[in-house]
Amino acid sequence: MTFEAEQLGESGPELASLLRELRKRAGLSGDRLAARCNMSQSKVSRIENGQTRPSLVDVEAILRALEAPPELVAKASALARMANTEWRNLRELRRKGLGTRQAELKGLEASSTHMRYFLLSMITGLLATPEYVRASLAHSPADTSKAAAGKLERQAILYDVSKQFTFLLTEQAVRWPVVSPLALAEQMDRLSSLSFLPNVHIGVIPVGTATPRAPLNTFTIYDASLVTIETSAGSLVLRDGRDVQTHLKEFAGYEECALFGEELRARLAEWSAACRA
């Protein structure tokens, strides 16, 4: 089954209809299917009505219970993967407005308890100084004033002690010259200062550190429910539990390689002094 990137996240109604059709074809009631899948009848009903986005594991359990033919298993599995994966290209994000994107991120942060950020090449807006924020948006052809204000406004959530934040940055992300050397030194000082917050854990992976795998993208994990992956062309949103667990495992591997606490602050002080020199 082939599809375009823009179709990702749009297959929910088609998947719900197919699962409902397969159940009726198998001659099962919602109650009997729920019992076979070890689900509640209400969950089966919400899935078939498109009110709940089923995970790939849910869909596989339903397909096994229905003894669906192989060709329909393949179709339903592809639709489930599409429903749990969303692609947002950069052109679309700019068309909607970068300020709108900041509002979406603020909503994700408000509804999450533990957020994990792997930062490969730049510092995220949550940790950035105003000058760094403005410079990071300078390449955009769109009006970035609302986006810059949104990034700075979102930083208030770092002081909400009911939230946990873990930021892993590569040395490249910390030292990449997005701003002038003096401004970059100030940015490093801010990272050091924020590392003292009790609910904010900042780690850095120096160049030359052996890691379990070579990182390819910046990504963020919200609790254990959603992953966003940033690319130069846009962003992917993954909601399937197995995708989330894969990224949690990858993040944990990088976390073991990072410097935290006094070691982090000592390294930041060294890099900051180099910038000021």
Q: Which of 65-74, 121-130, 157-166, 265-274 has the lowest mean pLDDT?
A: 65-74
The C-alpha atoms of residue 74 and residue 35 are separated, in whole angstroms, by: 23
pTM comes to: 0.77
The C-alpha atoms of residue 273 and residue 147 are separated, in whole angstroms, by: 31
Handedness of CA 61, 84, 18, 1 (dihedral sign): negative
CA separation, residue 200 to residues 8, 58, 266 (Å):
33, 35, 17
pLDDT value at residue 145: 82
pLDDT above 90: residue 62: no
DSSP 8-state code for residue 259: B
pLDDT value at residue 70: 84
Give residue 246's identity as a one-letter amino acid code. T
pLDDT in tens, 116-173: 999 999 999 999 999 999 999 888 777 678 888 888 999 999 999 999 999 999 999 9
- Give the helix/strand (H/E) hosting 202: strand 200-205
Q: Which of 5-14, 116-125, 172-181, 259-268 has the lowest mean pLDDT?
A: 5-14
Mean pLDDT of 243-248: 94
What is the strand order of the sheet 200-205 is part of?
85-89, 234-238, 226-230, 218-222, 114-119, 164-170, 200-205
pLDDT above 90: residue 12: no
